[in-house]
Structure 1
Amino acid sequence: MAAFAITAVTTDMPETVSPFHLLAAHYENCFRRYGDTPRGVDWPDADSARVRYKVMAGVAYDGGGFLDFGCGAGHFLEYLQQTYSPCPAYRGLDISPIFVDLCRHKFPDIIFDCVDVMAPDAVIPSTDYVIMNGVFTEKREVPYNVFFDAMMAVLGKVFAAAKRGMAFNLMSKYVDWERDDLFHVPYNDVARVAMSLSRHHTIRADYGLREYTVYVYKSAIA
């Protein structure tokens, strides 16, 4: 990471700042501390991160390209490049200019957009599948109901831009203990969220982590 440096970022922000700006500041601080590693985007280790990438890629049961919403340091793209030949079509998007600049530096031939999806003039690129890995797993100091409402607003906008479907992950309630800074959501709550978007959805909790992933499709899968 010698070729790319960032300055310190503080989470001491006004109350009017959206939950996702607060999250971006947190992840930027992780990157400042740990660099371009799983811990630099606040995943505990490379092995569990790779499991998540595999599950996220699994939403594209029929092929198709990805929009990596909340792309961070571009590690999902690295997974795709290492796993698939040819690599599926990919485009990255993040609210953080620091991560977008990093990804543009690492992958000069790939498009990365810096977008605050909740801004009135925000445009989300239309892509076959949108994956949102880790976008909703941490809420930090944001109250549960506030973060839940913010998630609903983002999912509605993102699903409208997806041609075929999207995937997102959440922390499970069925764990030995919970952390106040993580976003633990009961299955029945997320089922209502998915049903409000489409009757065609799947909840996956079969990959051994203390979380689950939701696939939501525009139409029935074969």
Structure 2
Amino acid sequence: MKNKNYKSIVEHYEDCLDEHGDNHHGVDWPNKKDALKRYEVMLDVIPKNELTSSNKLLDFGCGAAHLLEFVLKQEKYKNVVDYSGADLSEKFISLSKDKFPNINFYRFDLLDMDLSTLPKFDYVVLNGVFTEKRELTFSEMWSYFQEMIKRVFLITNKGIAFNVMSKAVDWEREELFHLPTDQLIDFLTKEVSRNFIIRNDYGLYEYTVYIYK
């Protein structure tokens, strides 16, 4: 992807980390309760009948690895989630490696690399990767989103999960990515997979999508 404007999103999150430190504000989530709900919803991409075996999961856009902190506190994910993290930010990757030195963390730009150099994962979750567009136009963010989804889907064996902001709100914030579901569905069915679930049942002004092979 020639246009690298999406890197401004990474810079925004790094600024949040510098200002707020290693907490939910440091990855620009307004409150901790909602952040924890998002982790739960992301992990629900793994079907209940697969919670008895180990699944290789990549936390794409892992930030400060808060999803891993959540996993480690949940008994039901013990021996179920084999976690790895990835981020474009060297600052976040360094922080995550310092916290969890025995976990695999990758720093790369998925749009500017050979995918054959990456391992494959059973599931990939992208929590908060597409909720903010910052200074990007909707068109720029839409193009970035499509390219990312198509490439992420190539490195998974089973499925992916991501969230975006809903259009069913009283008002929209200019810096957020409010994606119409009809536009999303048209893209997914034509270019990714017809096997997907849209979740709008967890009380936040966003929705989460699970796409399966």
TM-score by length of 1: 0.88
CA displacement, residues 8-36 of structure 1 (integer Å, 9 cap, x when unaligned)? xxxxxxxx762331111000000000000
**What is the aligned partner in structure 1 of residue 58 from structure 2?**
67
Distance in 2 (alpha carbons) for counterparts of 1:76 and 1:154 = 20
Match of 1:76 among 67, 70, 74: 67
Q: Tell whether the 8 Å contact from 1:80 to 1:87 is kept in structure 2 after alignment.
A: no
SS of aligned partner of 2:140: helix
**What is the aligned partner in structure 1 of residue 9 from structure 2?**
23
Distance in 2 (alpha carbons) for counterparts of 1:119 and 1:88 = 28
* AA matched with 1:34: H
Q: Tell whether the 8 Å contact from 1:159 to 1:165 is kept in structure 2 after alignment.
A: yes
CA displacement, residues 151-209 of structure 1 (integer Å, 9 cap, x when unaligned)? 10011110010000000000000001100000000110111222121111000000000
Distance in 2 (alpha carbons) for counterparts of 1:142 and 1:81 = 35
SS of aligned partner of 2:134: coil
Match of 1:105 among 98, 102, 110: 98
Q: Tell whether the 8 Å contact from 1:134 to 1:169 is kept in structure 2 after alignment.
A: yes
Distance in 1 (alpha carbons) for counterparts of 2:181 and 2:87 = 27
Name the % identity.
Answer: 43
Match of 1:205 among 189, 192, 200: 200
Cα pair distance change 1:124/1:172, threshold 3 Å: farther
**Greater length-normalized contact order (CA 8 Å, ≥ 6 residues apart):** 2
**What is the aligned partner in structure 1 of residue 177 from structure 2?**
183
Q: Tell whether the 8 Å contact from 2:59 to 2:86 is kept in structure 1 after alignment.
A: yes
Q: Tell whether the 8 Å contact from 1:124 to 1:158 is kept in structure 2 after alignment.
A: no
Q: Does 62-71 or 110-119 show the bigger shift?
A: 62-71
Per-residue deviation, 1:88: 1.2
Q: Tell whether the 8 Å contact from 1:19 to 1:139 is kept in structure 2 after alignment.
A: no
* Paired residue total: 203
CA displacement, residues 83-110 of structure 1 (integer Å, 9 cap, x when unaligned)? 1323510100000000000000000000
Distance in 2 (alpha carbons) for counterparts of 1:56 and 1:96 = 21
Q: How does 1:6-155 map to 2 (within 5 A)?
A: 18-61=4-47, 62-63=50-51, 64-83=55-74, 84-86=77-79, 88-121=81-114, 123-155=117-149
Q: CA RMSD in A?
A: 1.3
Q: Tell whether the 8 Å contact from 2:6 to 2:136 is kept in structure 1 after alignment.
A: no
Q: Which runs of 5+ in 2 are unaligned?
A: none
Cα pair distance change 1:57/1:179, threshold 3 Å: same
Distance in 1 (alpha carbons) for counterparts of 2:3 and 2:196 = 32
Cα pair distance change 1:89/1:186, threshold 3 Å: same
Cα pair distance change 1:29/1:17, threshold 3 Å: farther
* AA matched with 1:143: T
